[in-house]
Amino acid sequence: MVDPRLSDTRPVTALARRGLMFILSSPSGAGKTTIARKLLQSDPGVALSVSATTRAIRPGEVDGRDYHFVDKPTFDRMADDHEFLEWAHVFGHSYGTPKAQIWAGLKAGTDFLFDIDWQGTQQLSQRAREDVVPVFILPPSIDELRRRLMARGTDDMKVIEARMDRARAEISHWSDYDYVVVNDDIDRCFEKVRRILDAERMRRERQTGLVNFVRQLTGEGSPT
């Protein structure tokens, strides 16, 4: 008699999985924005979260695509009601990540990319440690960082020094991160960041479909 399990020839399909929150932080000038853009372009499984903001909509922006544009009382009410995973005031405006869309996306297997600083990372980590993969990108040298900051259109040494101070302050939080990548070459750095994302997707607890998969594999609970 043929073992009934021998007839199981279903192809392996992608297992159900829970998404993750992939955080990239770095001082400005370390290449984070380029790497974030490359990740989004090359991987359809990665999405940006749409933030809520109190700043005015600009020409070309679409409400709900670029940002959720809300007024100050609405933003404050959302913050009070703990509807944000993280939020911050930047240059007189408020920005926040609404929880609801992230929870729904994670459950559906979407990975979210966050381009945020150490304070945002701390907030996210406090609220959802298991879902968060925090990566810090370091410039290869202080010299190279200064060169990159100087290339941003000013030679005013006071402006440069202020940027350097902000960069040093951000770098001082490097040890809050699970992964650290030195950006000595943008392509190599991108490849390393990709590998971190790919590996974290294979963590057992994120592959929610494994429980059923293993049950079928071992014939547990099925007639033998």
Which residues here bind its own copies, judged by CB under 8 A? 3, 5-12, 15, 136, 138-143, 145-146, 168, 171-172, 174-175, 177-182, 184, 192, 195-196, 198-200, 202-204, 207, 210, 213-214, 216-219
Residue 80 C-beta: closest distance to its own copies, Å:
35
**Minimum distance, C-beta of residue 199 to its own copies, in the bound complex (Å):** 3
Nearer to its own copies, 75 or 179 (CB): 179
At residue 97, φ and ψ (nearest 5 deg) are -100, 110
Binding residue per annotation — 28? yes
Q: What are phi and psi of 154, to 5 degrees?
A: -145, 150
Element (H, E) at 75: helix 72-80
Is position 30 annotated in a ligand binding site? yes
CB of 144 to its own copies, least distance (A): 9
The answer to the question of whether 33 is labelled as a binding residue is yes
- Judge contact between 43 and 201, C-beta under 8 A: no
Closest to its own copies by CB, 49 or 207: 207
Question: Nearer to its own copies by C-beta: 108 or 142?
Answer: 142
CB of 211 to its own copies, least distance (A): 8
Length of the chain: 224
* Residue 16 among known ligand-binding residues: no
Which tokens belong to 162? 């202020």
> Could you tell me which residues come within 8 angstroms of residue 185 by beta carbon, excluding any fewer than 6 positions away?
none
Q: How far is it, in rounded angstroms, from Cα 186 to Cα 194?
A: 12
Say whether 26 counts as a known binding-site residue: yes
Task: Give me the torsion for CA of 210, 214, 217, 223, rounded to 10°.
Answer: -120
Q: Among residues 78 and 171, whose Cβ is nearest to its own copies?
A: 171
Please state the residue numbers annotated as binding site for ATP: 26-33
